[in-house]
Structure 1
Amino acid sequence: MKLTKQTDYAFRILMFCAAGGGRLSRIADISRTYGASEPFLFKILQPLVTAGIVETVRGRNGGIRLARPASEIKLGEIARLTEDNFTIAECFQREDANCPLIDNCRLTSALREAMDAFMAVLDKYSVDDLAKPSAAVITLLAMVDEKPEANRQH
């Protein structure tokens, strides 16, 4: 099972917003941080906004922020929203299956159980779990105060 880039970057956008502590985040900053194009990030952002996970603020000082607490946004929810399908084998799409064993094979049930376990693990974790404002995450996402004395460890 491999998640698409859309899901990967949806997680990254949400982590960036969560690390911002409620401040508005700009797509340009997210783009620069992760090295992804702004149009690509806007494409990913649209379903997150439609689902009420992210909200946008228009205007000169606008940006995006989480619409719900990071602790309430589960990774499984994001994966289900951003992935087109979870077909990990031909037999998951019966109408396209070309296998003569499709109705008598235990592989389908084993793979379905594996997929359910995968999603159950994602459902256990929230965006908050990934982006708790640790010094390392904040620094890596370039969200620290630019004053050098504010960044020194005492």
Structure 2
Amino acid sequence: MRLTKQSNYAVRILMYCASNDSLSKISDIAEFYDISETFLFKILQILNASGFVETVRGRHGGIKLKREAKDIGLGEVIRATEDNFDMAECFDLESNTCPLIGTCGFNHALYRALNAFFDVLDEYTIADLTDNRRNIRVLLELDSAVRSAPKRVEA
């Protein structure tokens, strides 16, 4: 199974917000992760509708976590941001053409695998992913000393 960029960026956005002590600027997030603001807004709509983030409008606006990072489960985020989890034709009961549906063990094995996947993801929260907050803040350039330091230019 492979997650979409939407899920990948959604988790990154939540980690960014969890590591930031103030409102996170949409332009800063887009620039840091090198994604378009349009795509970021699409993801933010899902995160907002799912209750993970809230937006603050205005000149000094931005986004922040709506709940504590420890209360946002990784599995919950992935379920909200992925369109489907059809790992094989067996999962799509409406368009399935396999004559063995319901009689072979493949469908059952795939469902067990998918449930195991989510069981593991459900063990983690956004707080767990940002456990090394100090280093993450440096990498995200959220500390004022890092932000104000001149960028190193490679020759």
Tell me, yes or no, whether TM beats 0.5. Answer: yes
User: Which residues of 2 match residues 5-154 of structure 1 at below 5 A?
Assistant: 5-21=5-21, 23-146=22-145
- 1:50–1:99 CA distance, 2 compared to 1 (3 A): same
Note the aligned Cα RMSD (angstroms). Answer: 1.3
Q: Which residue of 2 aligns with 1:151?
A: none
Contact 1:18 1:128 in 2 (8 A): yes
Letter in 1 for 2:36: S
Residue deviations 1:25-73 (CA, integer Å, cap 9, x gap): 0111101111111110010000111122101111000000000000000
Letter in 1 for 2:11: F
Q: Which residue of 2 aligns with 1:152?
A: none
Counterparts of 1:134 and 1:73 in 2: how far apart (Å)?
16
Contact 2:27 2:37 in 1 (8 A): yes
- 1:85–1:147 CA distance, 2 compared to 1 (3 A): closer
Instruction: Give TM-score, length-normalised by structure 1.
Output: 0.91
Counterparts of 1:129 and 1:52 in 2: how far apart (Å)?
19
Identity %: 52
Contact 2:138 2:146 in 1 (8 A): no
Which runs of 5 or more structure 2 residues have no equivalent in the other structure?
Answer: 148-155
Counterparts of 1:63 and 1:79 in 2: how far apart (Å)?
23
Which runs of 5 or more structure 1 residues have no equivalent in the other structure?
Answer: 149-154
Bigger mean CA deviation after superposition, 65-74 or 138-147: 138-147
Contact 1:19 1:132 in 2 (8 A): no
